[in-house]
Structure 1
Amino acid sequence: MSKSKILLTDKSNPWLNGYRDPVAKINAFNNNMDLIPLTRDGENRLIVGDFATNKILGYKGINVEFQIEVNEQIIAVSSFYPEQSQFSGIPCLCFAVDGYIFIYQNNQPRYKFPLPKIEIHPKELEVWQQFQEGSKEVQLKMIDQWNKLRNEQNISLSSKALDVLIQTKAIKQQELIKQFLSGGIDMLNLVDTPTCLTKINTYQEGDSAISQLVIGTENKKLYILDSAGMQIQKTYEIASAPTSIICTGILQGDNRIIITTRDNQIQFIRNGQHEPIIIDLLSKPVQSILVNNSIVVGTMNETIACYNYKGSKQFSFKVNSGIVALEGMQAGSAKNALGYLMGLENQELRIYEGKQLVHILNIEGMIQGMKFGMFGREDGVLIMILKNKGIDIRILQRGFSFQSFMSQNALHNDEEERPLKIKRTNLFVEQTERERNNPVPIYRCLEKDLLKLRLKTAQSYLKVLEENQIGVNSGNINTSSNLRIQADIQGLGPVFKILMKIENLGNQSLQNLVMTYMYDQKLYKIVKPVNNIPFLLPHVSFPVSTEILSIDQNGASDQIKVIITEKNKQIPLIGAIIQIPLSEIRE
């Protein structure tokens, strides 16, 4: 057996199942996720910028603690610690939209930072003015001038001019020109769009040290804001729009900024100066991360490459599927990433140390974005957003280390590669001889038994349908409904209180719902056995509380089934089983 197959065994699985919600309906990439301690309670919140619903979701545990609605699509999420603030020790939550950076602190809006406008090249501006004053024939000649300007090396046209040039018909080009010039020449100024966010520490290293926000934009600019996040402190021009930015060191000392661009290059800025080192990639970059002072890049040609700060390639290798996400991974007491996680299109999550494959885990869905770190008070938590809009949370086993884990797998490999020596009994030899001499009758007997089994299964299923115990079109549970029940039990007995939250996960409201209970009447008595839910809005929790009295003399424990149906209908929308604990005995 090969080593990669041994790494897939459950005995050597370093992950513990944390939480999984296949109907979370979240859309996010790595840039739209972060783990941030937004309060002083010592718990990290998961911040997700949903680019489909334009909402910032703040998770505390598995529940949504807050939401921030935005009118624009969310591009990236990050945080930084300001130098002076009335909420000292609490980081600022930052998220980027088209033209602006929103900054929140203590769940309150702090500042809306506008990005500088894009200046149009003077030669392009002259052509726009001639468009406004000239006839249609002159306008067609002006388009030819734009084509000549686009071919010049030192001139980059604005996005509006490029939109005109990509049109194949002259009529559509003239319509676009009229649309752009309807507000005058002054309306041609474009707002820059951010592509990625990160932070750089100001005076000292540390996760909670004072830091400053770093912004990469479509206009090939890199901005470093001041410690308050209200003004631009430094501006750098880069060769292409950045896709990811990595910052190391401190801004007031030795620092390095590593920029992965859309033109398949990695550039370096050290202590405010552009370094002559440029790494040329063979394909479009998916993501770049920093692992043990090395740059690991995943590209679209299914290749992982590792480079040092001098631009020398340390290693590269191919994977058997497309790379969709990369994330650094810490193990044990190490603060820096010693390994990395890789999400593939074939629904695999892999752990690597350098170029050594450590573990493979099959996920029920393709990973779209992931974040590894401290979630709540637990270290080593991996949050994965799947392409099917679900969320999957795994927890790394405590005491995990790359060396001990790989040595343990090597022992498993040696043990399982040893051939098994099985003694052949007389019965085994006789049975083998019988199957060799009579293959046709034995196969026919097998076919007959399989047909009998299928017939028996069909008859049993039909019987159950006739008794209305389960159903496909009319059964116990309506699978098309999108409801979720969360229940908490309060009390030690004999009086218990069940606090439930009913949430409508669909996009349409529900009316006239009825909640009933199934329970052993010899053990419990429910004060209000029927609860009416008149109206349930989408994505809004409806609270329901019920008191339960334990009437058993021994305080026995049992289950209570909660069923929600529509009024005057027999098909339940959802059901839940609540385990009632042992009750204190009445004196």
Structure 2
Amino acid sequence: MADGAGSAEAKGAVANEPEKKKSPWLDAWYDPVAGMSCYSSFLCLSDLAADGDHRLVMVDMKKRIRMYKGTTIQWEHKLPDVPCAVQSFYHEAGHPPIPTLAVASGHRVLIFRNMRPSMQYRLPPLEIDPVERDIWKDLTQDGADIQAGFDRLNAARENGTALSNQSIDFLAVEDLESQTEYVRACRPNEDHLLQQQTAITCMEVLKQNMDEQTAVSMLVIGTENRMIYILNSSALEIAAKVKLEAVPTFISVLGLFDVEYRITVACRDGNIYTVKNGQVLSNVIELETQPVGLVRFDKNVYVGCMDNVIHCFHFKGKKNHSIYLPCPISCMSLLQITKSRVAKALVVALQNGEVRLYNGKHLIATVETNDVVTGIKLGTFGREEGSMVLSFKSGALMVKILQRNANLDGTSVTVGPPPEQDIPLDVPKKTKLYVEQTSREREQAIDMHRTFQRDLCKLRLSTARAYVNLLGTGHGPMSTAAGAQVRINAQVLGMGPQFKILVRIQNAGATALYDVPVHCTTNQNLYRIPRPSFFLPVLVPQQVYLVEVPLTCVNENGGTAAVRIFLASARGTVPLISAIVQMPISEPAIIDSF
């Protein structure tokens, strides 16, 4: 009977607590020793074998590309350079359509087909300034003046000329002999003397003429020289290119290349630009801080910023709302389900280990993790459409699957006042004393207000007088004299009977003080100070001075007393400031104990 009653009470207590929202995510797989820490652009989900089983493709900073089929590693390959993005696209309409894997690395796009390296596309080199080209043409001649060429290159750099890496390396050489060797080493490559390559910063995929999953696609590439390149479906030629005002960092595409398309670009200058059919539109979104993530949600653009805020803009530039987060944003991605049902949601990973699911500005669910999420990818993994792949800072890998009956409708989230607001407060009944006090306040409101203001003024006056007296006697934390503000702080070092008082003195004003006397007083029966008075020659503004005051306890019983330190003025008798040091109980001398 007792157990039954206890169980009933426990159930009642649980029922009274607010019900915890069930997570819509199911744990599918976790590999703590995967050993690949990836950003969001380093992850890709694609049906690379055209068998309906979507693989996970990962690249990392260790120049590796790895493919997972289910929970096993199916393929791994070494890359020639550090990658910055990986994407899959369909270069032709085959039967069955087999996607192509593209890895952006340096100034090249590496193409993999059927899990084998197929080809690579190199971005066009940058145009070299004619001034720099003429200087190097003179340097490669026999009998050229190396020092004169060095000075000309240095002057060109100071005038704002963008130099190539070869010229920058040459200017880093200091002695003339090494400069001569550097120029001699460059002469055999006279035909390819000055070639400046750019670097890819981001990459996306744009459908060409059909809005289908297996339609022919094109690569959209952002580079360090502030360019957007659109490659054709074979990734061999540039179909279109656009010049931006800043270096792109995040790209989001929408539409078809042959019909109409929009490219939303977040750049390093803190602005968001829109490219429509190869033209940069005039409506520019200016952010308060640097962007850390960009996601397009229908006609809205969600931008995560470094100030822990996600801003939602209409694609024409109008701001809709903002979502304020408790900690910095790690990465963002879009959850999109189209087969079983139509649903979209925004997934945001925070640096405290939380992964949040938003529909609009409504928070739907939160997933807690034990590590910092560095990369997130949503799509179809295996045969499950609503899969979420998480890559952690420690190199771990986690896969979660969205429940098929999960409710992603943001309108179902409770908005407005909390339900506790409808519960009436337990207000006590009005007593006779309460009624008398309220009636007195109504009748004598003016007199009570005047009395209160008079007492408040008296209190302020008394406080000001006490503070002035405190500063006048030098007892305050800071004193002002001759336009200078002085601070003092003291610290006791030692266990006894030998002590040392470390005094820190700072002139916080704008005027220097000269010949400042310092006096130390204490109980002569307890302590002996060898030099109780001394002078400080000068106190420079904003400079902290350390003064050591030795002190010896002469009382065998080890008593304690206070030591007072005064900073006086060279011309006045009132101390500028003082500090009281409470001494600890002195330990007996170790030598005397033997």
TM norm. shorter chain > 0.5 = yes
Does the residue aligned with 1:359 lie in a helix, a strand or coil? strand
Instruction: Give the match for residue 301 of structure 1.
Output: 307
The aligned amino acid for 1:83 is: E
Distance 1:260 1:135, change over 3 A: same
Q: Name the CA shift for 1:174/1:418 in 2 (closer, same or farther; >3 Å).
A: farther
Q: What is the DSSP-based 3-state SS (H/G/I as helix, E as strand, rest coil) of the residue aligned with 1:12?
A: coil
TM-superposed deviation, 1:333: 5.8
Q: Tell me the equivalent position of 2:326.
A: 320
The residue that corresponds to 2:271 in the other structure is: 265
Q: How far is 1:337 from its partner? A: 6.8
8 Å CA contact 1:79–1:213 kept in 2: the answer is no
Residue matched to 2:290: 284
Tell me which of 201, 210, 219 is aligned to 1:213.
219
Q: Would you say 1:121 and 2:139 are equivalent positions?
A: no
Distance 1:335 1:177 in 2: 64
CA pair 183-88 structure 1, distance change in 2 beyond 3 A: farther
1:286 counterpart SS class: strand
Q: How does 1:101-112 map to 2 (within 5 A)?
A: 101-112=109-120
Within-5 A mapping of 1:435-514: none
Aligned partner of 2:64 among 44, 55, 71:
55
Q: Which whole-Å deviations, capped at 9, do the CAs of 1:275-334 have from their partners, x for residues lacking one? A: 122222222221211112211111222221122121222222432211110001235768
**Shift in CA distance, 305/183, structure 1 to aligned 2, threshold 3 Å:** farther
- Residues 170, 410 of structure 1: CA spacing in aligned structure 2 closer, same or farther, 3 A cutoff? farther
In structure 2, do the counterparts of structure 1 residues 254 and 172 end up closer, same or farther at CA, with 3 Å as the change threshold? Answer: farther
Q: Give the counterpart letter for 1:217 in structure 2.
A: T
Is residue 254 from structure 1 mapped to residue 264 from structure 2 by the alignment? no
Contact 1:198-1:245 at 8 Å conserved across structures: yes
- CA offset at residue 389 of structure 1? 0.4
**What is the number of equivalent residue pairs in this alignment?**
407
Q: TM-score, normalised by structure 1?
A: 0.63
Residue 98 of structure 2: aligned partner? 90
Name the residue aligned to 2:589: none
CA contact (8 A) 1:332 1:398 kept: no
CA distance in 1, matches of 2:177, 2:322: 47
Kindly indicate whether residue 412 of structure 2 is the aligned counterpart of residue 402 of structure 1.
Answer: no
Structure 1 position 100 matched with structure 2 position 69: no
Taking the aligned partners of 1:180 and 1:312, their CA distance within structure 2 comes to 56
Which SS does the other structure have where 2:236 is aligned? coil
Counterpart position of 1:222: 228
- Between 1:219-228 and 1:243-252, the stretch displaced more is 219-228
Deviations 1:487-545 (A, max 9, x none): xxxxxxxxxxxxxxxxxxxxxxxxxxxxxxxxxxxxxxxxxxxxxxxxxxxxxxxxxxx
Once residues 31 and 247 of structure 2 are traced to their aligned partners in structure 1, the CA distance between those partners, rounded to angstroms, is: 35
1:41: which partner in 2? 51
User: Aligned partner of 1:402: which letter?
Assistant: L
Report Cα offsets for 1:344-394 as digits up to 9, x if no partner: 111111112222222222111000101011111112111000000001111
Kept after mapping to 2: 8 A contact 1:7/1:359? no
- Match of residue 194, structure 2, among 179, 185, 188: 188
| Mapped partners of 2:263, 2:181: distance in 1 | 39
CA distance in 1, matches of 2:210, 2:93: 16
Identify which of 59, 71, 75 aligns with 2:84: 75
Residues 130-149 of structure 1: matches in 2 within 5 Å?
130=138, 132=140, 135=145, 137-149=147-159
Quick one: distance in 2 between partners of 1:416 and 1:12? Answer: 25
Aligned Cα root-mean-square deviation (Å):
3.4
> 2:35 pairs with 11, 14, 25, which one?
25
Gaps of 5+ in 1: 1-5, 422-587
Residues 417-468 of structure 1: per-residue CA shift (max 9 Å, x gap)? 989x9xxxxxxxxxxxxxxxxxxxxxxxxxxxxxxxxxxxxxxxxxxxxxxx
Q: Distance in 1 between matches of 2:59 and 2:312?
A: 29
Distance 1:416 1:351, change over 3 A: farther
- SS of residue paired to 1:351: strand
* Range with greater deviation from structure 2 (383-392 or 42-51): 42-51
Q: Which amino acid aligns with 1:282?
A: E
Partner of 2:484: none
- What secondary structure is seen at the aligned counterpart in 1 of 2:281? strand
Contact 1:195/1:216 (<8 A) preserved: yes
- Residue identity opposite 1:271 in structure 2: N
1:376 to 382, 387, 393: 382
User: Deviation of residue 415 (structure 1)?
Assistant: 8.6
1:30 partner amino acid: S
Aligned residue for 1:38, secondary structure, equals coil
Cα distance, 1:182 vs. partner?
A: 5.9
Q: Tell me if structure 1 keeps the 8 A contact 2:42–2:60.
A: yes
**Residues 1:338 and 1:415: Cα distance change in structure 2 (over 3 Å):** farther
Measured in 1, the distance between the counterparts of 2:404 and 2:208 equals 33
Q: Contact 1:111 / 1:230 at 8 angstroms: preserved in 2?
A: no
Task: Please give the residue correspondences for 1:421-440 in structure 2 after superposition, counting only pairs within 5 Å.
Answer: none
Distance 1:89 1:370, change over 3 A: same
Partner Cα distance (2:177, 2:221) in 1: 35
Specify the structure having the higher radius of gyration (Cα).
Answer: 2
Check 1:345–1:143 CA distance in 2 against 1; reply closer, same or farther (3 A cut): same
Q: Give the stretch that moved more between structures: 104-113 or 94-103.
A: 104-113
Cα displacement (A) at 1:272: 2.2
Distance across 2 between alignment mates of 1:195 and 1:274: 19
**How far 1:128 sits from its partner (Å)?**
3.6
3-state DSSP of counterpart to 2:370: coil
Q: 2 CA distance for matches of 1:388 and 1:77?
A: 21
CA apart distance, 1:126: 2.8
Provide closer, same or farther for how the CA distance between residues 162 and 337 of structure 1 changes in structure 2, counting only shifts above 3 A. farther
Aligned partner of residue 152 in structure 2, secondary structure: helix
Give, in angstroms, the shift of residue 412 of structure 1.
Answer: 14
Counterpart-to-counterpart distance in 1, 2:104 and 2:25: 33
Once the two structures are superposed, residues 61-91 of structure 1 have per-residue CA deviations (whole angstroms, 9 ceiling, x without a partner) of 1111111222211221001112355x64111
Deviations, residues 23-72 of structure 1 (Å, cap 9, x unaligned): 110121111111111122112111111222x2211111111111122221
Q: Which runs of 5+ in 2 are unaligned?
A: 1-15, 427-594
> What is the percentage of aligned positions where both structures have the same residue?
28
Shift of 1:121: 1.8
Return the alpha-carbon distance in structure 2 between the equivalents of residues 335 and 254 of structure 1.
27
Secondary structure of 2:258's counterpart equals: coil
Moved more, 120-129 or 294-303: 120-129
**Does structure 2 retain, via aligned residues, the 8 Å contact 1:79–1:198?**
no
User: How far does residue 171 in structure 1 lie from its aligned partner after superposition?
Assistant: 8.1
2:398 to 392, 400, 406: 392
Contact 2:301 2:313 in 1 (8 A): yes
Change (3 A) 1:197 1:43: same
Paired amino acid for 2:35:
K
* 1:145 alignment partner, SS class: helix
Secondary structure (helix, strand or coil) at the match of 1:389 reads coil
Task: Give the 3 Å change call, closer, same or farther, for CA 305–11 of structure 1 in structure 2.
Answer: closer
Q: Is the 8 A contact 1:31 1:76 kept in 2?
A: yes
**Distance in 2 between the 1:106 and 1:349 partners?**
34
1:240 CA drift (Å) = 2.4
Give the Cα–Cα distance (whole angstroms) in 2 for the partners of residues 172 and 405 of structure 1: 74
